[in-house]
Amino acid sequence: MLEEVGEPYDIRLLSLSNGDNRKSDYLAVNAMGKVPALKHGDTVITEAAAICAYLADEFPHANLNIPVGDPRRGVYLKWLFFGPSCIEPAMIDRAHPRKEEARRGMLGYGDFDTVMEVVANAVKGGPYLMGEQFTAADVVIGSGLRFGMLFKMLPERPEFTAYVGRLAQRPALQRATAADKELAAA
Ligand SMILES: N[C@@H](CCC(=O)N[C@@H](CS)C(=O)NCC(=O)O)C(=O)O
């Protein structure tokens, strides 16, 4: 998302295996002990999808948001929320099934197969969720699909692989992936 925005930024790495995210200085940033967290001026934002929504609104010149007043904003917001509230819990529940599965009506995401079908239909046209415009919602949904397929927690449906393939062509994602590799090697 930061590469898509195109503004300068610094990265502070934490070692989750050393428990840096549970230490007091980081808990002061995010009491949840979770990454990522973003500091912009005096504002600290946590929750990945909220960070994406914030950056898209804060830097409108990058054209990653659908502004207030645009009738397409409702659908855009739906996809921003759909990642953390539907795709992620459906994926984790499938990978680590509960002893006793909650009734469909009690699960915010309903059921895994419906979530997959809805997302597949949304990404199959494209090229992006909102059509021709790439938005922060693609960062949220796209990164979830990439992660899920990489770790074999989501099916490699042709709609997903084609969409993730389109995202992989984006120079911002290529720069971010190269930077991740460098950081991992350091
Ligand atoms: N709801 C958070 C979840 C973030 C999350 O699960 N982060 C993982 C890494 S991908 C984490 O911080 N794990 C460390 C831990 O929980 O100890 C978000 O969307 O930002």
Output phi, psi for 130, to 5 deg.
Answer: -100, 20
* Closest of 155, 88, 90 to residue 120, by C-alpha: 155
Contact indicator for 172, 3 with CB cutoff of 8 Å: yes
Distance 35 CA to ligand 1 centre (A): 5
Distance 110 CA to ligand 1 centre (A): 22
Contact indicator for 160, 123 with CB cutoff of 8 Å: yes
Q: Provide the CA 183 distance to its chain's centre, in angstroms.
A: 20
Predicted local confidence at residue 101, as pLDDT: 87
For the chain, give the percent of residues with pLDDT over 70.
Answer: 100
Would you give the DSSP letter of residue 131?
B
Predicted local confidence at residue 22, as pLDDT: 97
* Rounded-to-integer distance, Cα 94 and Cα 114, Å: 13
With a threshold of 0.75, does the pTM exceed it?
yes
Cβ(20) – ligand 1 distance below 6 Å: no
Q: Decide if pLDDT at 174 tops 90.
A: yes
Could you read off the pLDDT of 8-57 as tens digits, one per residue?
999 999 999 999 999 999 999 999 999 999 999 999 999 999 999 999 99
Nearest CA to ligand 1 atom 2: 47
Ligand 1 atom index nearest CA of 36 = 20
**Mean pLDDT of all residues in the chain?**
97
The Cα-based distances of 182 to 36, 43, 177, 178, 179 in angstroms read 19, 28, 9, 6, 5
Cβ(21) – ligand 1 distance below 6 Å: yes
Distance 34 CA to ligand 1 centre (A): 4
Could you read off the pLDDT of 95-135 as tens digits, one per residue?
999 999 899 999 999 999 999 999 999 999 889 999 999 99
Q: How many CA atoms lie within 13 A of 182 on its CB side?
A: 7
